[in-house]
Amino acid sequence: MSRKQKISITFPPVKYGYDITLGNGFLEVIAGDIKRNFPNKKLAILSDNNVSAIYASKLKSAFDERELHSIIISFPAGEKSKSSATKELIESKMIKNGFDRSTILLALGGGVTGDLGGYIAATFMRGIPFIQIPTSLLAMVDSSIGGKVAINHPMGKNLIGAFYQPRAVYIDVSMLKTLPVREYYNGLAEIIKTALIEDKRLFESIIKNKILISDRSDRFLLKLIMESCRIKGRIVMEDEKESGKRKLLNYGHTIGHAIEILTGFSIPHGFCVSIGMNVENIIAYKMGILGFDDYLKINEILRYFNLPVKIPSKINLNEILKKVRIDKKSINSVPFFTLIRGIGLGSIDNAVEEDLILEALGESR
């Protein structure tokens, strides 16, 4: 079965906009679309070794059939590859293969491939078009929208990057079948976050269809991913450079990022966000802005999907507080949080007392 649905993202003023096309088992359709929209272009298919082994040659064959010239460039899977060394290796391969300004870089993979590929596309020959085929759930709902591309620097994650929008994004939910279980739930945490800040109906639908989610039902995932992308797209369109409304997306991330850094990025991002949402909900409850029933409902669904809600015992709570003080939302070291005032009711710029943060952290062990 091949289904195809579209979401359009346009930034005002209309400098650039792109479609996110969703479908199920539609690699052939994707190749046909690219041929129609970008005739006479050469394609560099960038993919990590895991994804490349499963999908890259299938995609290349679909391009070959349409007489579109493409090469596959693969790199070792993992965050370590978001480096200037890997970036240079990939650029060298592109140059050696005669790739020039008429090249399209197609990132086929998870967030690492999208971030790295997008950053290469932003600077290769002063910028070449970039197409994304996200293959992990996290990349489908998160990194494919917003145009943030980056590599890491030895001194920190995502320190070197740009805002660079793709020309097109294609999401094939059938690819999620091969995604490792940990990576699947890693992405689901961000979908739950999106529902909690903006869309009560989506959250209720997640609860109602939790078995379909665990079973990775193609039909339900198509709907779920489409809704999640639509919401994130709407938020990002209103605030491309992250000043106001986009802060909503930081829900769960103030505490989540601190845990991520303090555990040396050994816990997947979505898992840290899950712990972060739970702690931040305790803060909101203690401030009297979130009801206990809502707190419980969220806590239960996170645990249903085996998402962590407790802070690992090895982390010192004062260290978390120190990281919160230097979070980008803090002003003069006063912590500001994005909290929820109910399900689907995200609220930005909440100043929170440090004692209250420590209390909530203490209750999250």
Residue 108 tokens, joined: 């086929």
Count of residues in contact with ligand ADP, rule CB under 6 A: 20
Determine the interface stretch with ligand ADP among 18-26, 57-65, 130-138, 197-205 (rule: CB under 6 A): 130-138
- Give the nearest distance from C-beta 221 to ligand ADP in angstroms: 12
Nearest to 22 by CA among 227, 230, 171, 231: 171
21 or 186: whose CB is closer to ligand ADP? 186
CA 321 to chain centroid, in Å, comes to 25
- Give the nearest distance from C-beta 224 to ligand ADP in angstroms: 16
Which regions of the chain does DSSP assign to beta strands (E)?
4-10, 17-23, 42-48, 70-75, 103-109, 130-134, 148-153, 156-163, 168-172, 336-340, 346-351
Determine the interface stretch with ligand ADP among 27-35, 83-91, 180-188, 296-304 (rule: CB under 6 A): 180-188
Near ligand ADP in 106-125, by CB under 6 A:
109-113
- Active-site residue identified among 42, 82, 246, 323: 246
Query: Active-site residue 93, yes or no?
Result: no
- Give the nearest distance from C-beta 288 to ligand ADP in angstroms: 36
Q: Applying CB under 6 A, does 52 fall inside the site for ligand ADP?
A: no
Query: Active-site residue 153, yes or no?
Result: no
Q: Which residues contact 170 (CB under 8 A, 6 or more apart)?
A: 20, 21, 22, 23, 26, 30, 33, 131, 132, 133
Pairing of strands 42-48, 70-75: parallel
Near ligand ADP in 224-263, by CB under 6 A:
none
User: In this chain, which of 108, 173, 179, 320 binds ligand ADP, going by CB under 6 A?
Assistant: 179
- The Cα–Cα gap between 195 and 70 comes to 38
Place of tokens 């041929």: 35
- Active-site residue identified among 250, 280, 281, 323: 250
- The Cα–Cα gap between 21 and 235 comes to 19
Q: Which residues contact 293 (CB under 8 A, 6 or more apart)?
A: none
132 or 205: whose CB is closer to ligand ADP? 132
DSSP of 10-77: EPTTTS-EEEEEEESS-HHHHHHHHHHHSTT-EEEEEEEHHHIIIIIHHHHHHHHHTT--EEEEEE-S
Site string for ligand ADP, 77-106 (x = CB under 6 A): x-----------------------------
- The Cα–Cα gap between 58 and 286 comes to 53
Query: Active-site residue 269, yes or no?
Result: yes
- Give the nearest distance from C-beta 111 to ligand ADP in angstroms: 2
The full length of the chain comes to 365
Determine the interface stretch with ligand ADP among 17-25, 49-57, 83-91, 245-253 (rule: CB under 6 A): 49-57
Query: Residue 13's CB: how many other CB atoms inside 10 A?
Result: 5
User: In this chain, which of 117, 166, 169, 183 binds ligand ADP, going by CB under 6 A?
Assistant: 183
Query: Active-site residue 190, yes or no?
Result: yes
User: In this chain, which of 136, 165, 205, 254 binds ligand ADP, going by CB under 6 A?
Assistant: 136
- The Cα–Cα gap between 117 and 122 comes to 9
28 or 359: whose CB is closer to ligand ADP? 28
3-state secondary structure (DSSP) of residue 202: helix
Residues with a known catalytic role:
126, 148, 190, 232, 242, 246, 250, 253, 257, 269
Q: What are the residues binding ligand ADP (CB under 6 A)? A: 48, 50-51, 54, 77, 109-113, 135-136, 138-139, 175, 178-180, 183, 186
